[in-house]
């Protein structure tokens, strides 16, 4: 899903780069007997300058971590 969103944005607006990060909570892990309340998955896709330029990618990830 993460890559599909990044590709769709790229095709729609043709930017220099696209970065998508998705964080999801596994409700099956939270609701049933496992009781893993903080169980989450994070996926990311970087295209264009976010993939090719380490400084641009680092700046983006730093901004995301400061949320």
Supply the pLDDT for residue 29.
Answer: 63
Select the CATH number that applies to the domain covering 2-65 from these four: 3.90.1260.10, 3.20.20.70, 3.40.50.1000, 3.30.1130.10: 3.30.1130.10
8 Å CB contact between 6 and 45: yes
Chain Cα centroid distance, residue 1 = 10
Supply the pLDDT for residue 26.
Answer: 74
Backbone φ, ψ for residue 50 (5° rounding): -70, -30
**Looking up tokens 């609701």, which residue turns up?**
31
d(C-alpha 19, C-alpha 21), whole Å? 7
- Sequence ranges of the domains in the chain: 2-65
Q: Which secondary-structure segment (H or E) carries 18?
A: strand 17-25
Supply the pLDDT for residue 27.
Answer: 74
Q: What is the pLDDT of residues 7-63, one digit of tens each?
A: 999 999 999 999 999 998 877 766 666 666 677 889 999 999 999 999 999 999 999
């Amino acid at each position: 899903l993460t890559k599909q969103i990044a590709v769709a944005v790229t095709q729609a607006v043709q930017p220099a780069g696209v970065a998508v990060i998705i964080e999801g909570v596994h409700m099956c892990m939270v609701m049933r007997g496992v009781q893993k309340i903080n169980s989450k998955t994070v996926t990311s896709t970087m295209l264009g300058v976010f993939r090719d330029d380490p400084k641009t990618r680092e700046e983006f990830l730093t901004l995301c971590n400061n949320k």
